[in-house]
Amino acid sequence: MNIDFSQTELRDLGVAWLALGLAFAIFFERGATGFLQAGIVVPLVVSLLTAGVGFILHELAHKVVAVRYDQIAEFRADYNMLFVAIMSAIVGFLFAAPGAVHHRGYLTDRQHGLIAFAGPVMNLVLVVVFAPLLVAGIVLGSPLLELIGGRGLAINFFLAAFNLVPIGSLDGKTVMGWNKLVWAGTFVPSAVLAFVIVFVYNIGF
């Protein structure tokens, strides 16, 4: 399997990563004023390593599985929506739809479902990566490491759950159409854990 990236795709991935990192940094610092007061660099780096990585690897997972099934697949950023993400963060809320992997070629329902499923699965893999960082930060008494681990954990649980909601163009609709048991077995625990981590314990916030 040969994974190729065009110059346009690499540019779009880079722009989406930076724009999402900026949007999340502003959002987590409670707006542009808080972002500036926090020193810009640390909040931006933390967001690039957590939210940015979560979004980009989610999209790349779609691409890898699509190419595995002989699809022509490339990520394209939605520049209008990236602008909306940054502007919404400035005014106090966040709406992020950075773009999508577009692919073409013949697919069975199972293949189509697995391509959609790959994105949320990648976010759950990242949960496993960030969880030890959170624990290490707590044990070592490192606020920065604890922040990166906690935020990465919270964001990726949320991304997995949100993208598995079975409506519109979200991955969940395609996954449910392919296999309801796979969808339910992934969506329900992801949604419950995302709710507990984000809204009950406020981990990463």
Q: Which residues are catalytic?
A: 59
CA-closest candidate to residue 123, choices 156, 150, 154: 156
User: CB under 8 Å to 47, separation ≥6 — which residues?
Assistant: 20, 21, 22, 23, 24, 25, 28, 151
Helix (H, G, I), strand (E, B) or coil at 13: helix
For residues 123 and 159, the answer to whether their CB atoms sit within 8 Å is yes
8 Å CB contact between 75 and 14: no
Q: What DSSP line would sit under 141-171, residue for residue?
A: T-HHHHHHHHHHHHHHHHHHHHHTS-STTSH
Residues linked to residue 99 through DSSP beta bridges, in sequence order: 77
Tokens of 157: 């649980």
Q: Which among 103, 99, 11 has a CA at the least distance from the CA of 64?
A: 103
User: In angstroms, rounded to a whole number, what is the distance separating the alpha carbons of residues 153 and 125?
Assistant: 10
